[in-house]
Structure formats: C-alpha cells, structure tokens
Structure 1
Amino acid sequence: MEKRGPTPQLKNYFNANTVLKLSLLMKNIDNELTEEPVGRLYLERKKKMQQQISLSQMKAQQQLKLIGPPKEVDSVKRAFIYRERVNAACQNRHVFYTDCNTVLSAALQRRGWLGKLAYYEFKPLQNLSNEVLLRYAKPGNDHEKVYISRLLRDSPASFVWHFQYNLNMNISDNAYINHIGRGYNLDFSTKIGLIGCSEQEIWFRNDKGCGMHHPRFYRLGSNASEHVHFVEDYHRTQCRAFIHYLWNNLKNCNLICDEHCGQVPAGIVTFAIENVKRQKAEFEYLSLAGGGNAPLYHGDSWWRYFTTSSNSVIYKKAKIAMSSADLVPKIKVAKKYLENLERKCPDFKWDGCRNLWILKPGYECRGNGIVLKKYLGDILSHANLNSDNNFVVQKYIERPLLIYKTKFDIRIYMLLTIENDILTIWLYNDCYLRFSSQIFNMDVLNQAVHITNNAVQRNYKNYENRDLRLPKNNMWSLSQFNNYLRDDLNSKNVWDEKVLPGIKSNLITTIKTGLEEFNFVNKTFELFGCDFMLDNKYNPILIEVNTNPDLTPSTVVTERLCPMVLKDLLRVVLDLPLNCRAYTGLFQAISHIDCNVNRSRPTNEILEVISGHKLKISKSEQKKHETNSLPTKPKSALANKKTANEKVKNNTTKKPQNTSAGAGPRNPKSKETKKQMTTSKPITSKPSKR
C-alpha cells in the first residue's frame, strides 16, 4: 500500500496548534521580561513576532471552526518507532540533560542524541497523557520532546549540563558533566577563592609562561590579621596617592600651596615622603636604620590626622602652608621613590591620586552588591554592617585604558577538560568588549560609570554627549577592537603580541594555584567567563573568573559568539576523545597538566622561596613530606645516614634486660625491623590506611 502523509486538514490543524503555542510562549516571555529586562534587539524581534502571531492567530481560529478535531493516527506504530529510537540512544549512550539551554540541546539533537527535560520545562504539555502527545507529536516539536523525555525517565544521562550539580541526579558511569569539583579556599571562580589562589602564586613565579597580574584585595570578614593588613595598605596607598596629586599639580603650585594662608600644615608632606621612602627601603630589603631617617609618627591618631588633611587637599582644594620653592624639590625626590616602587610592584602603576577601593560580595555575581568607597571608615562600616555577604575589598584601577573616554573590560571564555587523567586548559580565540554607558569620571562613584557588566549597564541609558563611535549596545567584537587599535592608535598586532599572551599566562597560573584542592574526575569539564582589563600599556589585568557564564543572545555580538562557543565546546568534549585530530573550532589548548602528579602536593620536588630563589630538598625529606601531614625541616642524605648508624650503635651497646618475674615483658622484634636497623637507610613510617 502507498504511504500517505497527513491530510491537508490535519496540516492546518497542526499549524494552528503551533500558532497557539507560540502565543503562550510569548506570554511567558512577557512575564520573564517584567522580572529581568533584555536587550533592545530582542525587544524589537518580540514586537515583530507579536504582529505575525496576531495575524496568523486569526486565520488559525477560523480554520479550527471549519476543520474540527484531527483524524486518529496509528499511535501503536508511532510509539514503536519512538521506543526503538530511545533504545538505540540508551545503547549508544546518547542521552543528555541540559538546563534550558536550547542551543546546546539543538546541537546534540543534530548529533543523534535524545534529551531529558527538567520538571519545569513545558509544564502544560507534561500533564498530558501519552495518547495526546503521540497524536500531536511531529519531528522536532514540543510534543515529541515531552514524549521522548517521558520514555527516558529511568534512563541515565551520559551528558549533563546543569547550573547546580546535584549528586542525586540519574547519571551513567563515565558521564560528561559540566562541573569540576574545587575546594572552598582555592575556588578561583569566587572572589574569596581567587584571593587564596593569589597567595599560592609564589610557588609558580619562576615557571615559564606563568604570571598572575591582579589588583590587591583582602577578605574583610575572614580574620583580624587580614583586616590589619588592609588598613596598613590603605594608609600606605594614601601616602602615594597624595604625592601623585601634588606631582600632577606642580605646574599650578598656587592652587595647592600658600605659605601664609594655607590651612593644612606642611608636616603632612614630609610625613608622606618619609613613609614612601620607608616603603622603598622595605622593598629593597634594607633596614630602616640604614635606609634613612624613619618617620616617628605612629598610632591611629596620626594616620587619621594625615588622611583627613590630605583628603581636604585632594577633594576640598585646601592649600598647604608651604612655599612652592620648598615643595617642588621635595616632590621631585618623592617622585623618584614612587618610580622605584612601581618597578618593584607593577600594580602600583594602576593607582591614581584618589585611593578608591571597590567592595564586592564574596559569592555574588552579575555586579550584585558592588559599591565604591574612598574613606577608610566607610569601607569598614559597610563591610561590618553586611558581614553575611563576606565582602572582599579590592583596589580600584584608577588608571585603566580608555576607549573614547569610556571604561571597558574584556570577556573571554576558558574551558577546562579532564580526560585520561590529563587536565587541559582551553582558551577561546574570540571574545568581546563591554563598555560603560557613561563617560569615565573619578568624581562620580556610580555603578553606571565604573561597573561594565552587561547585567548592570542595561539598566541605564547611554550618556547623551558621549562619543558617537561607541556602540549603542555597549559591546564590541574582537575584530572591531583590532580595527580600533590599528586605525586609531596605529598599534598593529598588539592583541597577538601582548594582550593574548598576558591573558594566557594569567589563566594558566590561576589554574595551577588551585590544583591542590581540585577533584580530578575523568570526563568532567567546565566553562568559565574570564574578565580582564587593560592598563595604559596594554597589559591584561585579571579581575575575576565566573562559573556558569551568561550565554544568552543579549546583543548582536553575543548572538553570534555564544552559539559558536557552545558548538565548539561539544567538539572538544565529545569529538576529541574519539579522534585526536578532530576539529576543535576556535578553542585552543594552552596547557596540559598531569592529574596524577598534582593529586598531592608537592609535585616533583619541594620548593622553598627565599628572596626569589628556589632551594631543592633531598629525596628522603620529600618522602617524609608525602607521608607526614606536618612539614619538617630539610635534612641531607648524609645526616640521615649518620642518625641511622648512631641508632644501630646505641642498640648494640645496650645490655640485655633480665626477664624476671618483676620485670616487664620484652618487646619482640621482627626480622624485617632487624634488617632495617643494620642498613644505613633511615626508617620511614608507613602511612596508616583509613
């Protein structure tokens, strides 16, 4: 018999049914838009879809009145076909679970995979019976997805993409999971964990291709010692900022100093210069006695007086009771001290003359809870009042690279994969820039000026008088940024020669510092969104690393880039293990790390860093460090042999004890221990098995 397709009446009914479902989806979109605004491009498309649906909906309602219910379809045959597909997918381990990621699920379906739906997806359809779902199921429509997901209810998933990994999920053995376990203290995807990674950077400074450039930050809610270090850093930064301000205004000395009518005493200038001189001496490993006359001003009262006096000069334009003839030579000498300090500490180059600090919640993202403060009392009080947020204070970059007087940052994607006990770091060779909607202004401490996150900027309107060459959607692609560097700044190959190598070294070092608390499980992977800024010399500065980055098409730039990232991710995760020459798209492997070596620290040799030099410790001490949890002092192999020989002599010279009734029993020794006592090698205790 000839195979007949659906009748024209049935086709019209399906078309009408899809139109009605589109209208329901638009209602859901309207509800989501009230909770969270989206880009202008998406709103324009939404209006066009509403106009099309309104026209087609009228036609569909007229057709439904004329057509009536559809004819019965052979549901037994269709159910048999779907069960065969489900059985084949389970045998080939081609079952996936994605958390509302339509781009990723569509790419997997094109590969022949079948997906399981979450309980909150297509809720109206999930309440229908199997007969109704089979009646209206068509290739690729929602009824088919719900019916297949119902058949896969008890089947384990072999590919899991979920924002919050749950151990109770039905997952098959050796499944691909988008989550790599990390410890609390070294989780670089959080602000607090990134500080812990920066503290471990000292172990990797001399490795080739490693270098971590980041602003100074402190955990205000952790312990009292770190709180004290932040206060000390704030005071030192205030001295450097005050000298920067005086240096920038030396050409107009009449505006900053007045010998007869000045309100601020001249002693604060000498106080700042002596403190900077002291900082220079400390970084040069010189004693304060030999490094010059150290300042004798100690205590909080002196620092409070200095900060209020210097801030009155910087913000309130107060004048110093000092002549220009005395001020100019002192500031020139202090400027040389600052230049020496900036050579020792490159992050000092990013500081300006405002001493601004940015407060971030330790475990928040998308710009939530971020504020800028300039006074020490305001910073500490804000952190204490919101102690539950575990605030991190970070030195604000006051001298960033600007494009048309506007602040920006770079979002680039990094992928980590673990396969065959090898951790591979992948970097995507495409990225985009995020601009602020306002002109950069240090006098206005507002999120619209200083926070370039798209989740923050889409809540503000663009400044009317800003440069017209800036994008209206506040995003640039990498090609647009390269065109700007080539045409406007005459800087060719800056991205390939300076920016990209700096990003790679930052990310490689960040991953290596957190390996101590990694949970190495094969076939696990994770995608990260890394945020960088650039200084005036195009050096990348790592701001933060975000897990579960936003991949929604909010603008034209992300609409093109984000689907490419997900498709190339599948090439790396699924295709490369089967074929070592498989095409990986724009993902480039920048580092390979052996998981077996990095499961326990130290890896190959124990290193101590003393004034920038590495010292190798003997193999015997390395074995002791692996077996014992507490570190011991390094000993040479000869010292270990001497101690073992001395033990043998002492045991041979001792007289045997009498085994009388009053004496205690003699401890018997096995043959193995006697042999060990006669040898020159030291005895090492074996770790107990738990």
Structure 2
Amino acid sequence: SYYVVLLLVLQPPLHRSVPCLPAIKLDRIRAAKVLVEKAVKLHKVFSVQGPYPVIRQALRSRGWVEKRLPRPLHKPRCQSPGEEEGEEGEISPDAADVAEEDEKEESRDDMTDLMSRMVRNETIFFYWTTRRDTIDWHSLRKDQMANHYENAATFTTKVGLCVNLRNLQWFDSADPDTFFPRCYVLGAEDEKHAFIEDFRRTACTSLLQHVVETQDKEAAQSGSRSRCSVESGIIETALRVCQEFLIDLDHGNIDRIAQSSPSAEEQQWADFLQEFYLVVHHGAEIRGADMFAERCLQMLTKLREVCPQLDTDGVNNIWIIKPGAKSRGRGITCMNRLDDIIALVDRDHVREHRWVWFLVTDWNPLTVWFYRECYLRFSTQPYSTKNLHSSVHLCNNSIQKHFQPSKDRNPALPEDNMWSCAQFRSFLSGQGREGQWESVVVPGMRQAVVRALQTAQDLVIPRRASFAIYGADFMLGRDLRPWLLEINSSPTMACSTAVTARLCPAVQRDTLRVVLDRRANPNAYTGGFQLIYKQPAVEVPQYVGVNLLIEGASIRKQKAVQKPPVSVSASAPVASVPLMLSQAHPVQRTGILPTSPQCRRLSLSHPSTNTNFSASHRFTLPHTALDGQYRICPGLTLQKPLPSIEVFSLRTNVIARTVPSRKPNFHSIHSSAQRKQLFLLPYVQSERK
C-alpha cells in the first residue's frame, strides 16, 4: 500500500517577479498607440544597451520607439594566458564600473515602458550597444543599423594596431615611426627577441646622448668627481653597435660572419647594460668621456636621419608596458630595465589617454568623420623620468582621481586635470604658438587616424547599415607633434568632469545627425563632425549563386622505367661535304628526321676553329637543302630543347652532321625559301659513345 501525506503550509502569497504597469489614462494609451504604429510603419524601433540617455532622448525626439531588452549579465570570465580581455578592444568594465554607470541611467517612464511592451514583437532597426558581441550579426537584415563593425580588433586593440601599422607601406608612403611609437607584442617569441634588440640599441643611442649632454656639465664641475666610474670602452661599444645598425639599414650585413658565439654575446650585452644603468640611472662617471663627445655627436647626427624617434627616446630608455585589451589605465606600468620587463612578461603573460573622437560610417568606400573638438588630460604630479609611478605618467581620469594635485604643479592646470582644446589653444597663444594647433596638431592627428584605418580596411568586415564611433589617444611632444597611442571602440561617454559633461553629449547628438539625418538629407547639419576622408567606391560583383566546383586527380610520382640501350647503325658510305650557309633554305617538315622515342643530336662545327656546338632533345628538326653528299655519325644522343635564331647574313662554312634513327629521305627537300635561316643549338659538351 502506498500512503500519500500532504503537508499544507499557510503563508502569505508570493510577490510577482514582474512588476505590474501602473494605471495609465486612456488618452495617453491612445497617444502611445499612435506613436507606436507610426514608428513601426517607418521602421523606427531602436534598442540601447548601456548608460546612454542622450542617445535615447535624441532618438525619441525623432519619433523612434525603444524596445527594451533584458540587461546582459556581467559574469567574470576565466581567461587563458594567451587570451585577451574584452571583445575587439571594447571596454570591459569591472563590477564597480558597471554599478556606477547603471546608476546614471535615466529612470524609466510609464509611457516608455508601455510603448516598449507594445513593440516587444517588432523588429529592431537601430542598435546602440557597448559591446559588439551583444548583437547577433548573422541574423541582421540589411536595413538594420548597428554601432559596431565586425573584426574591428585589427585596429582597436593594441596588438592589432601594432601589427597592422607595419603594413602601412602598402597603402601610404608615410613612415609609421613618425606618428606611432615603436611597439612590440611580448607574448610572441619573435616579437620578444625584436624588443630585446631594440632595447639594447636604444641603450646605446641613449648613452651617446648622455655623453653629449653631460660634456658641458662635467666641464663646469671639474672639481667634483663621482665616487663611481666605468671605463670608456662602453662608449666604444655603443658607437660600434650604432655603426652596425646603419650598415644593416643599407643591407650591408648580408655577408657578415658572426665573430663570437651567442652565449658570449649575451654575456657582453649583460655587462654593457649593467654599466649603462650605473651611468644613466645612478650617475656614474665615464672616464675619458670628453674625448668621445665629438664622435658621439657625429653618430647621433647620422642616426637622426634614419630614426624619427631618436629625440623622443631620451637618455633613460623608459618603456611603457600595457595589457593587451584593458582600458582606463589598468595594468599599465613604466620600466627602464630589461631584466625587469622580461621578468614581468614571464611571470604574467602580457597580452595585451582618450582625446579625439572620430566616426566611421562606411568601409567601402572608407568614410571617416573627425570631430572638431577634443579634450586634454594631465597628471596630478609634475612630469619626471626619474619617477615611474602611475600618478606621474598615466593621465587617465580613473587613475588620477585617486591622487591629490601636487603643489609643485603648474598653477594654470585645473583641479579636474582636464582642458578643452579651446583652453589649450589659449595657452599656446600665450606662448606665441597658437598657429601650431591648426598647422601641426590637428593635421597630425587626422593623418594618423586615416593611416591606421587604411591598414585595417581589408580585415574589417564592411556593412552598409553599420557605423562606429571610436576614441583615439594621442600624446603631444614638446614640438606638439601628436603620437598615436591607441584607438578604443565604444569610448566612455561618462560626464566625469566639466569638460566631458559638455563634449560627450554633443558627440552623441552629432553622431545621430551624421548616421540618421544625413541619410534622409545629404545636406543635413552634422554638428562638430567633419568629413576628412572618403575613398572612391569599389563595386562588389553580384553573387549569382554559382557554386565553385573543382575536380581533379592527385599527383603521383611516376616510377622510373629503365629502357634497354638502343643501337644505331648506318649502311650508307660515310662522306663529308662542306655546306655553305649562304645556300641554306628553310623547308617544310616532310617526314625527314621524324619524332621517335629514340634521341638524336644535331652538331654544328666550324672548320677553321674546330669548335663543336651540340645539344640534345627529342624533337623534329627543320632541314636545309644539301648539295652533294652527306655523312652519318652514329652513337649520339639528344637531351635539351633547341632555341631557334634567325640569321640574315651567313658567310661561314659549317659542317652539318645529323644522326637519324633511319636513313633520311632527302628527295622531299625543296628550296622555296623567302629568307635564310639557321637553327643554332645551345652548347652542351658531350662525348660520343
């Protein structure tokens, strides 16, 4: 028997997990229905994921209705050592960042929730998301717009930008070293070796600059000497390495033979770097350095012609180590010792300032819009190459907001460490350099952006209805020449300072003016965006639905078949008659010397010099008329094809010899020639059997 026991527990009713819509007046429901019907008819249904209230408001003002999607869950992801964080260089914020941005998202309205429910089964025609992988690209229709492109990691990650800019020579005559710092992917072994070479060579050039810069200082302080000193051989080594580098640029190292073993060379480099650290980092003195100052200056002059970044390298040989796909300055360190950098790479696999916005509306043809305004960021501490702390060298607002401004900093800088471009132009005007903003800074940034996109154009998957806004980070040198650091997809639009509170909403509104208003009206106002580059369109051939079919058979190696030797004999009497080439006439191939599996040779000899020209191959020779007798020479073979050479003036007597497989028929030779020809053979020395 089976007994069933029922346990009844009295408890209050459970609350519904889905909130009920509040009561809405009937007239508002009718108005919402009218708006929804019109939006659906005009394909104006959009979806925004992320804290973009400006985008939502701008779309609704244009008659668009939002279809709210479930908020994606931000789950921590386990990463393999070689995998990059994030997707295609997009911002991958941590939980604290997500919570902070979600708080800034606008509160929901009853009408917007109602209209969102009305269009829950409708197709979305405009996507604006923070991450590209939230969109199912394979199911998108051609008229559905999205704010991302597939495979944009070719230029929005540090690794992609580093690798692809090396191919700039195929798209532009510019040298990437003039606007992009030397960069290496230390996770790859070949890149790691290239970086070690570059670090050592930069140490040599830095030492030469140190000798030149300290010459006058040592003369002024001749009475005081450093407690630590090194031999002058370190300068000789640096000069030799720089000279070899110049030779290598001219490909003069092709026939060079290694003078020492790799292990001995590694030890020499280790000793050199230790002495370099003593001199540059710890102030050690080089004995007799003043004797090399002139040679160092001459070598630096030669290097400056071929090394655009020589002046920016300085004397401390400082390198920036950045994770492959992290944003907001996370994980960035500055180092000036090779062993420390290599140890960091081996310990934690290094995988892989945002100032300028630009918009890409098409990749075929490549169409780039550049925003007229930008902002500049500063650090809270004075710049110094002796202090490698992040508060000195990282200008990200997420880093600098944790530090108090130094009292030694320029008092003109604001407390929020950010200037607009108008404020920076005013600062340059006070120094008499206002014109350099339009003549140096802006053109340099535009050229760098376009060149970076050109190198990635063939790798990004184009889509007519897509667009993307990117943020480019630049660093300005003392000469105001901009250096491209990286390009970020989905740049943050957070209003963290007074400058970004004005610029970020303007950028979002102007983006919609370009991608929406300009579609309906080519002359529509585009705000701060300016079209700086557009290629001629390249027509893509229409797909006709024909499947490609390739048929064939595998190639097999044929087995060599050894044939028995062939004996040739002649029954006619042997006679020799001189042949005047001036009497030679071309004749048709009428069966004389027919093609056969056996080989033949034709030999021409000059009587006066007794020089033989012979060659061998299977072929059918054209023949010339012979006056008189002929002779047969058995036992010759033919191995090589014969080129033909036309001769129009023949004055030499030549003996013609041929070895047919059977007695030739000279009765079919005729003399209906229009011009004289002689078929010469390539010289192949062979012996008769």
TM-score (norm 1): 0.65
Output the CA distance in 2 between the equivalents of 1:483 and 1:180.
38
Aligned with 1:175 (options 123, 144, 152) = 144
Which residue does 2:70 correspond to in 1?
Answer: 119
In the aligned structure 2, how far is the partner of 1:115 from the partner of 1:591? 33
Corresponding residue SS for 1:215: coil
Distance in 1 between the 2:24 and 2:194 partners?
Answer: 75
State which of 192, 203, 211 in structure 2 corresponds to 1:246. 211
- Quote the Cα distance in structure 1 between the aligned partners of 2:182 and 2:55: 38
Q: Compared with structure 1, are the counterparts of its residues 300 and 211 closer, same or farther at alpha carbon in structure 2 (3 Å cutoff)?
A: closer
| 8 Å Cα contact 2:226-2:285 kept in structure 1 | no
- The match for 1:225 among 190, 193, 199 is 190
Offset from partner CA, 1:410-452 (integer Å, 9 cap, x none) = 7010100028x43310100111111111100111111110011
Separation in 1 of the partners of 2:354 and 2:283? 36
The Cα offsets for residues 583-634 of structure 1, whole Å up to 9 and x where unpaired, read as 11111111113563799xxxxxxxxxxxxxxxxxxxxxxxxxxxxxxxxxxx
Q: Does 1:417 align with 2:379?
A: no
Q: Which deviates more from structure 2 when the two are superposed, residues 492-501 or residues 507-516?
A: 492-501
Find the partner of 1:491 among 418, 422, 433.
433
Equivalent runs, 1:126-525 vs 2, <5 Å: 142-165=109-132, 166-168=134-136, 173-182=142-151, 187-206=154-173, 213-222=179-188, 224-253=189-218, 263-286=229-252, 299-320=265-286, 322-323=287-288, 327-387=289-349, 389-391=350-352, 411-418=355-362, 421-487=364-430, 489-525=431-467
> Does the CA-based 8 Å contact 2:372-2:529 persist in structure 1?
yes
> Following the alignment from structure 2 to structure 1, what is the Cα–Cα distance between the partners of residues 203 and 23?
81
Map of 1:95 onto structure 2: 45
* Greater Cα radius of gyration, structure 1 or 2: 2
Cα distance in 1 for partners of 2:456, 2:345 equals 26
Q: Is the 8 A contact 1:250 1:328 kept in 2?
A: yes
Partner SS, residue 113 of structure 2: helix
TM-superposed CA distance for 1:251, in Å, is 1.5
**For 1:519, what is the secondary structure of its paired residue?**
coil
Residue 226 (structure 1) shift: 1.5
Report SS of the residue matched to 1:330.
helix
Deviation at 1:225, TM superposition (A): 1.6
- Structure 1 residue aligned with 2:641: none
Task: Deviation per CA, 1:452-474: give whole Å up to 9, x if none.
Answer: 11121112111123221111111
2: CA distance between counterparts of 1:446 and 1:156?
A: 51
- The RMSD of aligned alpha carbons is 3.1
The one-character-per-residue Cα deviations of 1:203-242 (angstroms, maximum 9, x if unpaired) are 12327x99961111111112x2211111111110111111
Deviations 1:618-653 (A, max 9, x none): xxxxxxxxxxxxxxxxxxxxxxxxxxxxxxxxxxx9
Q: Note the alpha carbon deviations across 1:87-132, whole angstroms, 9 max, x for none.
A: 21011111111123101111111111111224249xxxxxxxxxxx
Distance verdict in 2 for CA 1:428–1:349, change over 3 Å:
same
What is aligned with 1:107?
Answer: 58
**Corresponding residue number in structure 2 for 1:615:** none
**Is contact 1:212–1:506 with CA below 8 Å preserved after alignment?**
no
Tell me, yes or no, if the aligned pair for 2:131 and 2:490 is still in contact at 8 Å. no
Compute the displacement of 1:285 (Å).
4.7
CA distance in 1, matches of 2:30, 2:222: 87
- Per-residue CA deviation, residues 311-350 of structure 1 (Å, 9 max, x unaligned), is 1112222223x23xxx224122112211221221211221
Conserved 8 A contact 2:166-2:176: no
Q: Which residue of 2 aligns with 1:545?
A: 487
Matched, 1:527 2:469: yes
User: SS state of the match for residue 384, structure 1?
Assistant: helix
Structure 2 segments unaligned to the other structure (5+ residues): 1-21, 73-106, 542-593, 598-689
Give me the whole-angstrom Cα distance separating, in 1, the residues matched to 2:227 and 2:41. Answer: 89
Between Structure 1 and Structure 2, the one with more helix by share is 1
SS in 1 for 2:440: helix
Deviation at 1:508, TM superposition (A): 0.8
Partner of 2:550: none
Residue 413 of structure 1 aligns to a residue whose secondary structure is strand
SS of 2:155 mapped into structure 1: coil
What percent of counterpart residues are identical? 28
How far apart in 2 are the matches of 1:79 and 1:654?
97
The residue type paired with residue 504 of structure 1 is R
Say if 2:418 and 2:499, in contact at 8 Å, map to a contact too: yes
What SS is found at the alignment partner of 2:496? coil
1:360/1:371 contact within 8 Å kept: yes
Q: Secondary structure at the match of 1:425?
A: strand
Cα drift, residue 309 of structure 1: 0.9
- Confirm or deny: 8 A CA contact 1:180 1:521 kept in the other structure: yes
Q: Partner residue of 2:585?
A: none
Deviation at 1:654, TM superposition (A): 8.0
1:23-102 mapped onto 2 (5 Å cutoff) = 74-75=25-26, 77-99=27-49, 100-102=51-53
1:550-565 counterparts in 2 under 5 A? 550-565=492-507
CA shift, 1:296, in A, is: 11
User: Does the C-alpha gap of structure 1 residues 232 and 159 become closer, same or farther in structure 2, counting only changes over 3 Å?
Assistant: same
- CA contact under 8 A between 2:45 and 2:125: conserved in structure 1? yes
- Any idea what SS the aligned residue of 2:467 has? strand
Asked if the contact 1:275–1:295 (Cα under 8 Å) also holds between the matched residues in 2, the reply is: no
**1:159 Cα deviation after fit:** 1.1
CA distance in 2, matches of 1:529, 1:73: 42
Using the TM superposition, name which of 82-91 and 102-111 deviates more: 82-91
CA contact 1:417–1:525 (8 Å) conserved in 2: yes
What is the CA-CA distance between 1:485 and the residue it aligns to? 0.8
Paired residue type of 2:500: T
**For the residues of structure 2 that align with 1:446 and 1:210, how far apart are their CA atoms?**
29
Shift of 1:553: 1.0
Checking the alignment, whether the CA contact within 8 Å between 2:177 and 2:309 is kept in structure 1 is: no
For the residue of structure 1 that corresponds to 2:519, the secondary structure is coil
1:383 aligns to what SS in structure 2?
helix
Q: Once the 2 structures are TM-superposed, how far is the Cα of residue 535 of structure 1 from its aligned partner?
A: 1.8
Name the CA shift for 1:529/1:257 in 2 (closer, same or farther; >3 Å). Answer: farther
Contact 2:142 2:465 in 1 (8 A): no
Paired residues of 2:226 and 2:284 also in contact (CA < 8 A): no
The alpha-carbon distance between structure 1 residues 456 and 253, as it changes in their structure 2 partners (threshold 3 A), is same
Shift of 1:171: 5.6
